[in-house]
Amino acid sequence: QVTLVESGGGAVQAGGSLRLSCAASDDISSSYCMGWFRQAPGKEREGVAALDSDHGTSYVASVKGRFTISQDNAKNTLYLQMDSLKPEDTAMYYCAADPGLVACSRGYSYVPNFGTRGQGTQVTVSS
């Protein structure tokens, strides 16, 4: 089973940028669907972004145009570039992976249900 380790979180002011990284222990080029979800205190987990089996992308509406998900297969690493950050983006961010075809077909909203996740990295955006 793949293990995932996130990094890159931190505290920034509104309008700033962060790039989250997720290092995978296994080849993620074709064996897994990958995505990001977040959870703020007292709130439900929320799918943020996903890569599907054809390397298309999907995003929750609140981050479209601001966040970009990408993958470096040579490094087995998933990224989330976050620009124009807002205070409402404050949350713990998790990288997730799933080998199943169902996961690949359901887009960002299914990412919290993926079979494997990392330990999370905190993102805090101040106004």
pLDDT given for residue 122 in this prediction: 98
- Rounded CA gap, 34 and 24, in Å? 10
Q: Which residue has the tokens 């080998």?
A: 99
Tens digit of each residue's pLDDT (9 = 90 or more) over 85-104: 999 999 999 999 998 878 88
Q: Which residues make beta-bridge pairs with 34?
A: 51, 97
pLDDT given for residue 69 in this prediction: 97
User: Which H or E run contains 19?
Assistant: strand 18-24
Are 107 and 58 in contact, with CB atoms under 8 Å apart? yes
- Rounded CA gap, 42 and 123, in Å? 16
Average confidence (pLDDT) over 99-122? 92
The answer, yes or no, to whether residue 84 has pLDDT greater than 80, is yes
**One-letter amino acid for residue 29 of the chain:** S
Average confidence (pLDDT) over 52-77? 91
- Rounded CA gap, 92 and 44, in Å? 11
The answer, yes or no, to whether residue 70 has pLDDT greater than 70, is yes
**One-letter amino acid for residue 44 of the chain:** E
Tens digit of each residue's pLDDT (9 = 90 or more) over 4-19: 999 999 999 999 999 9
pLDDT band at 53 (very low <50, low <70, confident <90, very high): low
The answer, yes or no, to whether residue 31 has pLDDT greater than 90, is no
Is the pLDDT higher at 127 or at 105?
Answer: 127
